[in-house]
Amino acid sequence: MIDVAGTELSQVERDRLRHPEVGGVILFSRNYESPEQIAALVADIHGLRDPQLLVAVDHEGGRVQRFREGFTHLPAVRKLGAVYDENRKRALRLAEEAGWLMAAELRAVGIDMSFAPVLDLDLGVSEVIGDRAFHSDVEAVADLAHAYMVGMRRAGMAATGKHFPGHGSVAPDSHKALPVDEREFEDVRLLDMVPFERLAHYDIPALMTAHIVYPKVDAQPVSFSRFWLQQVLRRDLGFQGAIFSDDLSMAGAHVMGSMPERARTALTAGCDMVLVCNDAEAAEAVLDAGIPHEDPTAHLRLARLHGRHPIDRRELLASVEYRQVRDMLYKLG
């Protein structure tokens, strides 16, 4: 999965996206001007290939929402956690409706996936997670994330939980450095991993890995570890969905060598799709390396992530449900 530079595709980008090893495109704020423009860009990307490329975006709400003007300003999901402490039933309803509205607005411009929900814990430790997490309590996170996933599914979008096995217990931001967690495996399993285990049992369609190394468990960062991906995630947790690496351009992945080496190691370890973002030369290097990834099961997992039942944007914005949900979320602040 790679990115594009602007609000329209260049000829170079069209050619790159037709490469058989490209499976998807992730969009950023720089790709967005208006709902109409982004719908045209997504349609252009989808029209390049058959079967279509997956089109994804990070659209969690709060600090991480790529499209603003013309979209609902979604609250950080930690606000749902605050409601949970007062009224669990109301919080779960809000979480489902938030997941539905987020996904419905994106589906209405053709986007297949949002990399959400966050399954990390808000433990007051991580630089990069914070209010992107639902709660500090594992059961609350699992509860709210499940409801959010149900809402996304109602809108025709598959959920992607992140960042396995949990980013909330390490301070460094893996965009800037490689976080090291010195805990024993059992400590991670009984805390950070619990929401991922619960959502695996609820058949979440996809998970994204963390660039974190646990030296007492395995020498490789999770995104590149056969132990974490094949033994723990596939065998122990029984996860059947797609596994995405976090962006291989992040500082937390630099220890794994060149970009082709990172991509090859992550795919071999068990990722079904790797992200190479904000570095066109690195993306070209990966494609030129000719890394084989002919796993039919992986292709089936990824095929299930395409958006379902298209949504007409005008009808969505005019619907009573949309207006009611939007008003409820605005009241959260």
Break the chain into its structural domains and give their ranges. 11-332
At 176, give phi and psi (nearest 5°): -110, -25
Structure-token pair, residue 2: 């790679």
Residue 178: band (very low, low, confident or very high) from pLDDT cuts 50, 70, 90: confident
Q: Say whether 329 sits in a helix, a strand or coil.
A: helix
Q: Of 65, 68, 72, nearest to 328 (Cα)?
A: 72
pLDDT at residue 333, rounded to an integer:
75
Catalytic residue among 112, 181, 192, 246: 246
Q: Which of 44, 131, 175, 279 is catalytic?
A: 175
- pLDDT of 174 strictly over 80: no
- Give how far the C-alpha of residue 267 lies from the chain's centroid of Cα atoms, to the nearest Å: 17
pLDDT tens for residues 149-171?
A: 999 999 999 999 999 999 989 98
Per-residue model confidence as pLDDT tens digits over 115-144: 999 999 999 988 789 999 999 999 999 999
Give the integer Cα–Cα distance in Å for 98 and 90.
12
DSSP class of residue 59? E
- For residue 51, whether the previous peptide bond is cis, meaning omega lies within 30 degrees of 0, is yes
| Cα angle: 115, vertex 145, 169; to 5 degrees | 80
Q: How far apart are CA 101 and CA 74, in angstroms?
A: 9
Average pLDDT, stretch 161-188? Answer: 91
Whether the bond into 215 is cis, omega within 30 of 0 = no
Measured CA angle at 208 (ends 204, 211), to 5 deg: 150
- Partners of 113 in the β-ladder: 56
Task: Give the pLDDT of residue 270.
Answer: 97
- b or e along 258-283 (b: 16 or more beta carbons within 10 Å of the residue's beta carbon)? ebbbbbbbbbebbbbbbbbbbbbebb
Tens of pLDDT, residue by residue over 218-245, are 999 999 999 999 999 999 999 999 999 9
Q: Would you say 168 and 192 are in contact if contact means Cβ atoms under 8 Å apart?
A: yes
Structure-token match 């659209």, residue found: 59
Q: How far apart are CA 240 and CA 225, in angstroms?
A: 17
pLDDT tier at 322, thresholds 50, 70, 90: very high
Q: Select 11-332's CATH number: 3.20.20.70, 1.20.1050.10, 3.40.50.12160, 3.20.20.300.
A: 3.20.20.300
Say which residues have a Cβ less than 8 Å from residue 162's Cβ, sequence separation at least 6: 115, 116, 117, 118, 119, 120, 207, 208, 209, 210, 246
> Is residue 246 annotated as a catalytic residue, yes or no?
yes
3-state secondary structure of 113: strand
- Please state, for a pLDDT cut of 70, what percent of the chain lies above it: 100
pLDDT at 33: 98
The continuous run of DSSP H or E covering 225 comes out as: none
pTM: 0.96
d(CA 83, CA 256): 41
Active site residue 312: no
- Tokens 């919080």: give the residue: 91
Encoding tokens for residue 177?
């450095």
